[in-house]
Amino acid sequence: MTVAVEGSTDVPVAERLLRMAGFLPGKVYALNGKNKLDQSLGGFNNAARFSRWFVLRDLDEDAACAPELTQRLLPAPAQWMSLRIAVRAVEAWLLADREKISRFLGVSIDRIPSQHDHLENPKATLVAIAKHSRSREIREDMVPAPGTSARVGPAYASHIIEFTRDHWRPSVAASRSESLRSCVSALKRWSR
């Protein structure tokens, strides 16, 4: 199955979810941002008339809810298109595995919020949590240096990819995140 996502940190999320649903991920398009992904959706949808496509995008603040954004971006999905929206970002889905993310970041589980789908900015929340890490490496790699305009640290992406591939439990996270549960359910129905 062909995969399209906003960026590199979304790739392992999409791959893990597809495997969980019984699919083998195929070619992956990591498009360097939601604007490029949105611009490419028409072409991807056209290709989905002939083969399966899984497109994963963050909701961010682009609509009040995932169905509204889905309808706006892709009002007529092709037969083999599955566009899924993470509320508000895939980082919320990672935070939903509270035990593993707290261990990985080296923080108390009490620092991990329990209302993942209601976070206004899950990425900023994750970075703020990393500031309290007992690991100097996590703090230096995931948190931007003071005085810079960067929103994340220099090795944020590599740590997120490592966590997702090696530690994240999508089934546990799905039991705590309605938007992730909806995504997993849709993929499992599709695999039948």
pLDDT computed for residue 159 by the predictor: 98
Return all residues near 27 (Cβ < 8 A) that are at least 6 apart. 2, 3
Q: What is the CATH topology of the domain spanning 2-87+172-191?
A: Dna Topoisomerase Vi A Subunit; Chain: A, domain 2 (3.40.1360)
| Average pLDDT of adjacent 10-residue blocks, the chain of 192 residues | 97 97 95 97 98 97 96 97 97 98 98 93 98 98 95 98 98 97 95 78
pLDDT computed for residue 82 by the predictor: 97
In the chain, CATH 3.40.1360 sits at 2-87+172-191
Instruction: Choose among 50, 76, 54, 64: nearest CA to 3.
Output: 54
pLDDT computed for residue 80 by the predictor: 97
pLDDT computed for residue 126 by the predictor: 98
pLDDT computed for residue 192 by the predictor: 74
Instruction: Choose among 41, 117, 118, 116: nearest CA to 83.
Output: 41
